[in-house]
Every structure is written in C-alpha cells, then in structure tokens.
Chain A
C-alpha cells in the first residue's frame, strides 16, 4: 500500500467502462445463473461479475479419476487431509473455501459461525448435493406465528417451481404429501439395497421414505445427456447431467452474445445517483488490483446471502447512510442456517453382501420428508427432513479410519473387518428448520477490511432451545431406524447440552439477510425480490428468504430468481425500471 502522503497525488485510478449494460448480475451461482439465463433469453445485455476464475470442466473436474492416479491420492500436495487442514475435498468440484487468505471474516466473541464461500463460475452449484425440494404452503405462511409470513403463497410460487424443475431436471414421484409438495418430475431411480432396508425400517416406524428429489437427469432434457450413474456428481459432471448453473445456464448464455463475464471481479459498492437508482457497480479486478466500474440500468445481487448483505451494507452514501436499500435496518438480520445432525451405524444384514455397482446418482435415492407436521406431542416447533447414505463407495483416503479406530490391531483380522464392514454402514443426516432469532445476524466489522480494503462481515449466531430439542429428536429417530433394521449406531450418544448440533454455517444453507416482505419498515425487498427503496435493485439468492424451511434452498433460489428476472425484464420494457 502506498503511504498516505503518496495517495494524495496517486489516487487509485477508477476505470469506468463506457458500455451501459441493461443488467449487471453479481454472482454466478444458482440465483445469478438463473438471472443470467432468463435475462439474456429476454434479449437483455448482461454483465456478470464473478469473484473467482472461470470454470473449465475438462480441466477442473476430477470425475472418474481413481485415487491412485494422483500421487497424493487426495491428501493434498502437503498431506493437508491428514492434519485437518484441507479446505475442500481434492476430488470435489472446485468450489471455494472455509478460509480465504485475502478475504477474512470475523465472529463476535461468544459466538460460533463458519462461512463457506465459493469463488468460481457457477459457485456452489458445481458441487452441491442437488437435493431439490419445494417449500410447502405452511413454509410461506407459517401457522404457528413463530416467524413472519412471506409476501407470497405456495400457489403463487408453484408455477415458478414448475419452470425451475422443468429446466434443471429433478427426479421424483407424486406422493401427495403436504410437507413435500409434488413437482414436475423426471423418473425416479431405484433404491439401493441399504435403502430398501431403510424403507422397510421406516415403514415399521410409520415414517415415510420416498424417492429422492434430485437435480440429476434420469432422462436427457434441454440438450443435456442423461446421467451415466457414476455417483460422482460432487466432483462436477462432464456431461452436465447433474445440474450446475455454470454448465446449464451460463455457458449457453455466453453463446448468445448477450453476456459479458468479468472473472476475478470482487464487488465493492453499488453506486447510486441522486434519484436513488443504481447506475454502476464498483469492483476490484483481483488480477490487476485495479478499481473498475461497470455501468448498468439495473442490478441483480446474487453473491450468496451473507455476501449480498455485505455489499448492500458497504454501499453507503448520504442518501443511504446505513447501506443502500437499508432504510428498514433489516439488512444482515434474520440470518439462519439449517439445523444439522448426523448419525451412522453398522447393519449386519448388509455385511458380506454380493458385490455390485451401487454408485447410481450421488447421494441418496430415497429420503424422508418431514412427517410430524400435525403431531401435537413433540417438544419443538417446525421440523426436519432426513438425508441418508450407504452402499459400496469408491474407497478413498479415510474410508476405513473408523474401522481402524474401532478394532485397532493389524493383520488378517483387520483385513477381515474391513472386508466385512465395506458397504455395511448407513448414515443419516437431519436438515431442520431454524427459526430466525434476534441473536443471529451479520454486520460490518468496524475494525477490519479484506485485502482490497472492503470492510468484512462479523457474524453473530446462536441456536435456541427450539433447535437443540429438534436435534435430540433427530438422534432418537435415526437410532430407531438403525436399530429397527437390526443395526447399531456407531459411537456414543452426543453431549446432552449441545445435543451434537452442527456449528452455524457449516450446513452451507445461509439465508435471510436481505429479507422480503410487504412492509418496507420491516423488510428490504418486495415480493419480486426488488428493493422497496431502489427500484432497479434486485437480490436473487437465499438472502430474500423470510425463513429457513426444512427444505434445501437451491430449488427455491432458482424459482424466485426466475420470477424476479422475468418481472425485471417486464418492468424494464414498461419503462418502470
């Protein structure tokens, strides 16, 4: 950095691009990718800012690579895996980090939060689990009064879910469950052996276990090849049979000539004119360390929930002293993550099973939707769904660390234990609803900036007893399912105080920091994800979400972004934006 005196004569040059884009989209994940697709389809000229590099699947994806084809076999160039320092699995799609050296964040004393950030074209959609669940009617209009209603109903959103599913492709079956609304489904995929047992176990316990709803193509649609069932969707999919915004939305949009992508572009500020409209986005070009401005008629912020809140809070001006579009003071508030808890177990009935290829689609072929919505006896509000796993996975570093720790010893006995337990384990992960609370939010840390001088976020996060009681229920349920199939749970019961609840942020489902609502005094955005105060500013990630239903947010991000983008294009045509 130059000394202060130098700076007076050597102010950083701001490079202003002459072209005025119809829309600048900030972020290229599920929300940004959808905005890019819909807006370019509508004929608009779009600029996309992505803070990370471009993606080249042929170079960046490690689909079909065996561990022994890499000298460190996935441990990392300096054996990071063995010392708990690996940011992300070596074979996983390149997506991002828990810690980015140049881009810190802070956590207020007495709080715990981990913030995963993606820095590559397509963001987290390159790797995500692709579980695609519609929110229910009661998720939008809660009947218990514990969180605020959304400004939309399920009936209003249903057609947008239809569009989203029709485009990305989602497996599933019509079940008629209120807790898991049916969609526009591709054929489901048959359950693996452990999933057959789990279904039977759940059947005995009165728990529904239905075909999973996943964004993988069991049939070719929209020019993307059908799945080839290698089970490696998390590594990134060469054939784009597993949905990603990079491959399914952004690459095709690049070919239209209507999209300009700026990589390594870290948004600093939304610049507003005297009328209070955004006229440009200021960003740091990481490669050249220069300040750039790209001009626009409208902006779609889709940088991921907390990063979007950070950008709004950092866009201060005399007109917007608390950050742009933040007259309500709600930006950064209502931060939630899914409630997470996992249990694994050994199932003797599976031991020594005839070997076969059980790869299928990555993750589960069946899942458990919430089933106790009408139960009055449970001691916690809202609910959770259950994700599950098992089968003959490709052996990786760490696959048998559990067996080693359990049996110790060495030699033929150890070999026999490993052979017997391979494919005989199952695991369950609960993903539940956290109710927004006043102690969970992010704001700007007054002390720190990142490497480009952009003030960083500070997190405040507390679970309430609601979530702790929910997690206890998860543990009991998972244990019952394992034991009903004749298995036993690994390890001991979790610490009663924390109940083994996940650390906030670690489920990577952050939502709610720029929430929508009908009342401008209580919310930032209207029902179209459009700022109440700044008519040409839209937010299209999970930040607008009023609550954190027990259904993974990505499908809803796409549905809301699609609706917002069509609305934006229409408003621009009418001259309202």
Chain B
C-alpha cells in the first residue's frame, strides 16, 4: 500500500508538471485533471491508513486461500515483487463483493479445492496442505495438458483465478513497472528510439 500511494504522489507531481508545461489553450481543462489526481491520491492515502485488509466479499479463509493462489500464479521473481505484494486478492475480493455471480465463482472454486485436498488425504483444506501437495493439485488443473473430466470444475475455476490475478497484478503499480510501460504521460513530441527500431530490425527477416 505505501508503495502504491508513493507511486501516486509521484504520478501526481508529474501530472502537475505536465499542465504547467502545456500552457495556454488547454490550461483550464488540465486544472480539473489535476484536481482529479489530487482527489485520487488522497483517497489512496486514506486507504493506506486503514490497517490490515478486511475482506468485503469473501470469508477470511477464502481470502487467505486466494492470496496463496495469487502467490502461486504470479510469484515474486528477481525483477520485482509478485501478486501478493500487489494485493491482487483485494481486487478480486472487491469484485466478489460487487457481484454475486463473481462471488459464486470464488466461493465455489475455493470450496472445490478444499474438498479435493481432503479427498486426496493431503490435509484439512488447501491452505493447510504441504506446499508440494498444493502444487501437485494445481498442476492437475492448471494445464496446458488437458485434465480428466472429474477435474473440470477445478480447471474452470483456475482459468478464472489465473486471468484475474494476472489482470490485478499487471494493472497495479508494481505490475505496470514490471512490464516497463512508460506512457500515460504528456510529451511535446512523439519520438521512437532508434535503438528499439534497430533491435527489432536486426531480429526480423528484413535484417
């Protein structure tokens, strides 16, 4: 969270810099834009102050399981932190609180995982199973190899969890930085670095 509001503060400063730089014709309009960013930065800081996250749509157990899954799906690596640090589970929990259809997917999917762990004799639920048993189960439902018919509910659930954890991570400040997206800013001129053109041409059939 602190990282997120820190990032927003820098984004805010940058945006104010933009409006000063652009001047005349768009001036009045960009003031409103800055106001919007101030507003957003403030609300993020408020969010940062509220202490440990309280799940809104899922139970504590479901939320903790989802956090664990998010850590499996996008783990930290040598480049940057992963989905756990980016609070991916909070985004999904928020949508579960906003949509019963979404909540059913996660409640049902996590219930299925817990039941499967019991059924396989690996523990009381997914969270309490040893890590190697957790990954063994995920390997069965995560593909790319096709899974047997009785595992299809798990396959379907993991498709949802995977794409939404990926969404949550890569739309977070950590994920955006990990990708190296450098836009969403104002520049006086559009410029393509020659090094990037050379890089692609050298690897293309047109080299």
- Inter-chain CA distance A22–B148, complex, in Å, is 73
- Within 8 Å of chain A (Cβ to Cβ): is B15? yes
A341-371 near B? 1/0 per residue, CB < 8 Å: 0000001111001111111110000000000
Note all chain B residues with C-beta closer than 8 A to A419: 79, 178-179
Q: A72-B95, A230-B184, A360-B190 in contact; A395/B29 too (CB < 8 A)?
A: no
Q: A66-B176, A356-B182 in contact; A197/B144 too (CB < 8 A)?
A: no
Pair B187/A225 contact, Cβ less than 8 Å: no
- Within 8 Å of chain B (Cβ to Cβ): is A238? yes
Chain A interface: which of B59-67, B108-116, B123-131, B199-207? Answer: B199-207
B172-198 near A? 1/0 per residue, CB < 8 Å: 110110111111111111111101110
Pair B192/A192 contact, Cβ less than 8 Å: yes
- Inter-chain CA distance A7–B4, complex, in Å, is 61
- Within 8 Å of chain A (Cβ to Cβ): is B48? no
A474-507 near B? 1/0 per residue, CB < 8 Å: 0000000000111000000000000000000000
Note all chain B residues with C-beta closer than 8 A to A9: none
Pair B95/A359 contact, Cβ less than 8 Å: no
Q: Shortest Cβ distance from B180 into chain A, in angstroms?
A: 3
- Within 8 Å of chain A (Cβ to Cβ): is B101? yes
- Inter-chain CA distance A360–B190, complex, in Å, is 6
Pair B183/A358 contact, Cβ less than 8 Å: yes
- Within 8 Å of chain A (Cβ to Cβ): is B26? yes
Pair A392/B182 contact, Cβ less than 8 Å: yes
Pair A359/B184 contact, Cβ less than 8 Å: yes
- Inter-chain CA distance A224–B30, complex, in Å, is 13
Pair B144/A409 contact, Cβ less than 8 Å: yes
Note all chain B residues with C-beta closer than 8 A to A486: 203-205
Pair B15/A64 contact, Cβ less than 8 Å: yes
Q: Shortest Cβ distance from A149 into chain B, in angstroms?
A: 41
Pair B162/A225 contact, Cβ less than 8 Å: no
Pair B200/A411 contact, Cβ less than 8 Å: no
- Inter-chain CA distance A533–B79, complex, in Å, is 71
Q: Shortest Cβ distance from A135 into chain B, in angstroms?
A: 29
Residue from A69, A193, A240, A361 within 8 A of B192 (CB atoms): A193
Enumerate A378-429 residues with CB–CB distance to B below 8 Å.
Answer: 392-401, 403-405, 407-412, 414-415, 418-419, 422
Pair A228/B187 contact, Cβ less than 8 Å: yes
Q: Shortest Cβ distance from B199 into chain A, in angstroms?
A: 5
Pair B171/A58 contact, Cβ less than 8 Å: no
Chain B interface: which of A37-45, A73-81, A136-144? Answer: A73-81
Note all chain B residues with C-beta closer than 8 A to A83: 99, 101
Q: A78-B99, A225-B25, A355-B181 in contact; A349/B203 too (CB < 8 A)?
A: yes
Note all chain B residues with C-beta closer than 8 A to A485: 204-206
Note all chain B residues with C-beta closer than 8 A to A77: 98
Residue from B36, B186, B188, B196 within 8 A of A354 (CB atoms): B196
- Within 8 Å of chain B (Cβ to Cβ): is A67? yes
Pair A409/B182 contact, Cβ less than 8 Å: no
Chain B residues with a Cβ closer than 8 Å to the other chain, count: 76
Pair B22/A225 contact, Cβ less than 8 Å: yes
Q: Shortest Cβ distance from A189 into chain B, in angstroms?
A: 6
- Inter-chain CA distance A224–B191, complex, in Å, is 22
Pair B73/A73 contact, Cβ less than 8 Å: no
Note all chain B residues with C-beta closer than 8 A to A397: 167, 171
Pair A395/B170 contact, Cβ less than 8 Å: yes
- Inter-chain CA distance A68–B72, complex, in Å, is 22
Pair A79/B102 contact, Cβ less than 8 Å: yes
Residue from A78, A239, A353, A418 within 8 A of B26 (CB atoms): A239
Enumerate B14-35 residues with CB–CB distance to A below 8 Å.
Answer: 15, 18, 22, 24-26, 29-30, 32-33, 35
- Inter-chain CA distance A283–B173, complex, in Å, is 48
Pair B162/A196 contact, Cβ less than 8 Å: no
- Within 8 Å of chain B (Cβ to Cβ): is A14? no
Q: A79-B95, A197-B204, A238-B30 in contact; A191/B192 too (CB < 8 A)?
A: yes
Note all chain B residues with C-beta closer than 8 A to A64: 15, 33, 37, 184
Q: Shortest Cβ distance from A512 into chain B, in angstroms?
A: 37
Note all chain A residues with C-beta closer than 8 A to B153: none
A-B CB contacts (within 8 Å), total count? 227
- Within 8 Å of chain B (Cβ to Cβ): is A231? yes
CB closest residue in chain B, given A416: B77
Pair B166/A400 contact, Cβ less than 8 Å: yes
Pair B204/A200 contact, Cβ less than 8 Å: yes
Pair B144/A82 contact, Cβ less than 8 Å: no
Enumerate B132-164 residues with CB–CB distance to A below 8 Å.
Answer: 138, 142-144, 158-159, 162-164
Q: Shortest Cβ distance from A56 into chain B, in angstroms?
A: 9
- Within 8 Å of chain A (Cβ to Cβ): is B44? yes
CB closest residue in chain A, given B72: A410
Note all chain A residues with C-beta closer than 8 A to B94: 71-72
- Inter-chain CA distance A395–B86, complex, in Å, is 15
- Within 8 Å of chain B (Cβ to Cβ): is A220? yes
- Inter-chain CA distance A204–B206, complex, in Å, is 10
Residue from B8, B33, B142, B164 within 8 A of A63 (CB atoms): B33
- Within 8 Å of chain A (Cβ to Cβ): is B121? no
Pair B162/A410 contact, Cβ less than 8 Å: yes
- Inter-chain CA distance A419–B178, complex, in Å, is 8
Note all chain A residues with C-beta closer than 8 A to B11: 66
- Inter-chain CA distance A204–B205, complex, in Å, is 11
Pair B196/A197 contact, Cβ less than 8 Å: no
Pair B196/A353 contact, Cβ less than 8 Å: yes
- Inter-chain CA distance A359–B190, complex, in Å, is 8
Q: A79-B102, A408-B142, A422-B179 in contact; A58/B29 too (CB < 8 A)?
A: yes
Note all chain A residues with C-beta closer than 8 A to B99: 78-79, 82-83
Pair A68/B191 contact, Cβ less than 8 Å: no
Task: Give B residues with C-beta under 8 Å from A.
Answer: 4, 8, 11, 15, 18, 22, 24-26, 29-30, 32-33, 35-37, 40, 44, 72-75, 77, 79, 82, 91, 94-95, 98-99, 101-102, 138, 142-144, 158-159, 162-164, 166-168, 170-173, 175-176, 178-193, 195-197, 199-201, 203-206
> What are 22 A-B pairs with beta-carbon distances under 8 A?
A57-B29, A58-B35, A66-B173, A79-B99, A193-B197, A197-B200, A224-B25, A225-B26, A229-B190, A230-B185, A231-B183, A357-B183, A358-B192, A359-B190, A395-B175, A401-B166, A407-B144, A410-B138, A411-B74, A418-B166, A419-B179, A422-B179
Give the 4 A-B CB pairs with smallest separation, nearest first. Answer: A58-B32, A408-B143, A239-B26, A355-B180
In the complex, besides A57-B29, A356-B196, 20 extra interface pairs with C-beta distance below 8 angstroms are A63-B33, A68-B172, A68-B173, A74-B171, A79-B98, A82-B164, A190-B190, A193-B196, A201-B206, A238-B26, A348-B203, A354-B195, A354-B199, A356-B182, A394-B183, A400-B167, A408-B143, A410-B162, A415-B74, A422-B179
